[in-house]
Structure 1
Amino acid sequence: MHYKVSIVIEKDEHGYYAYSPGLEGCQTQGDSLEEVKANIQEAVELYLETLSDEEKRDVFNKEISTMTLEVQVA
């Protein structure tokens, strides 16, 4: 079965960090964008394998929105 999962990827001086806001504790890191994408894909798949059908329904009934906010700083 295929699911769509929200993922956030952040870059800092140490590389890349990725997590899924809808899957508590599901996170990983990588030295490159390609590596972190592969790592989070594996982490999400493994995470979902541990959930019961009821838990999966609960996870996928959450609505997660992302946006960009422009702010002015004095």
Structure 2
Amino acid sequence: MHYMVVIEEGPTSFGAYVPDLPGCIAVGESSQEALQLIQEAIELHIEELKSEGLNIPVPHSSSSFVEVHA
């Protein structure tokens, strides 16, 4: 499965989250580290859902960029 990951740069770190998996987050010192950690977090999140007998959310989020003239 392919889940969309959002990475946001903060003042001192990078945060990552998965819109289709509420509560699945990670923080790293770089965007690359945040991406690596969120991949691990996704796998653990899915394992936990399975162990609790819950359904695994199907990925459905997408993203696009729009250009604006400011």
Same fold by TM-score, threshold 0.5 exceeded?
A: yes
Measure how far apart 1:10 and its partner are: 1.0
SS in structure 1 at match of 2:22? coil
**Structure index of larger Rg:** 1
Residue in structure 1 matched with residue 65 of structure 2 by the alignment: 68
Task: Give the letter aligned to residue 61 of structure 2.
Answer: I
Normalising to structure 1: TM-score of the pair? Answer: 0.76
Partners of 2:24 and 2:35 lie apart in 1 by 13
Alignment of 1:43-54 (within 5 A): 43-52=41-50
CA distance in 1, matches of 2:67, 2:32: 28
Can you list the C-alpha shifts for 1:8-44, whole angstroms capped at 9, x where unaligned? 1111221100000000010111111221112101110
Considering only aligned residues, what root-mean-square deviation do their CA atoms show, in Å? 1.8
CA-CA distance at 1:71 after TM superposition: 3.2
Counterpart residue type for residue 66 of structure 2: L
Q: Which runs of 5+ in 1 are unaligned?
A: none
How many pairs does the alignment contain? 68
Of 3, 6, 30, 2:4 maps to: 6
Deviation at 1:67, TM superposition (A): 1.0
6-15 vs 63-72, which deviates more? Answer: 63-72
Secondary structure of the structure 2 residue equivalent to 1:51: helix
Identity of aligned residues (%): 34
For structure 2, the 5+ residue unaligned runs are none
